[in-house]
Amino acid sequence: MAHSADIAIGLIGAGMMGQEHIQNFNLLAGAHVTAIADTDAGMRDKAAAMCDREVAPIDDFEKLLADPNLDAFVIATPNFHHIDVLRPALETGKPILCEKPLCTTLADTGEILASVGASNQVFQVGMEYRFKPALAEMIARVDAGETGKLQMLTIREHRFPFLQKVGDWNRFNHNTGGTLVEKCCHFFDLMRRIIGAEPVRVMASAGRDVNHLNETYGGEVPDILDNAYVIFDFDNGARALLDLCMFAEASRHHEELSAVGHMGKVECLLPQNIVTRGARSDWQVHSEIVQIEQEILDAGYHSGATYFQNQAFLNAVRGEARVIVTAEDGHRAVAMGVAAQISAAENRSVTMQELGL
Equal fold, 7-128 vs 129-300+328-355: no
At 3 the pLDDT is 43
Q: How far apart are CA 165 and CA 19, in angstroms?
A: 13
* DSSP labels, 296-312: HHTT-SSTTHHHHHHHH
Q: pTM for this structure?
A: 0.95
**pLDDT class for 2, splitting at 50, 70, 90?**
very low
Question: What average pLDDT does range 266-274 have in this prediction?
Answer: 97
Cα within 13 Å of Cα(16), Cβ side: 10
Half-sphere exposure of residue 10: CA atoms within 13 angstroms, side-chain side: 25
Min mean pLDDT across 145-154, 194-203, 275-284, 304-313 is at 275-284
Burial 78-87 (b: 16+ CB within 10 A, else e): bbbbbbebbe
Q: What is the CATH number of domain 7-128?
A: 3.40.50.720
Length of the chain: 357
pLDDT (0 to 100) of residue 5: 75
pLDDT reading at 179 higher than 50: yes
Percent of the chain exceeding pLDDT 90 equals 93
Name the residue ranges covered by the structural domains of the chain: 7-128, 129-300+328-355
**Torsion (CA) 127, 89, 322, 157 in degrees, nearest 10:** 0
Residue 271: asked if its preceding bond is cis (omega within 30°), the reply is yes
Element (H, E) at 179: helix 179-182
Determine the pLDDT at residue 166: 85
Neighbours of 91 (CB within 10 A): 11
CATH code of the domain occupying 129-300+328-355: 3.30.360.10
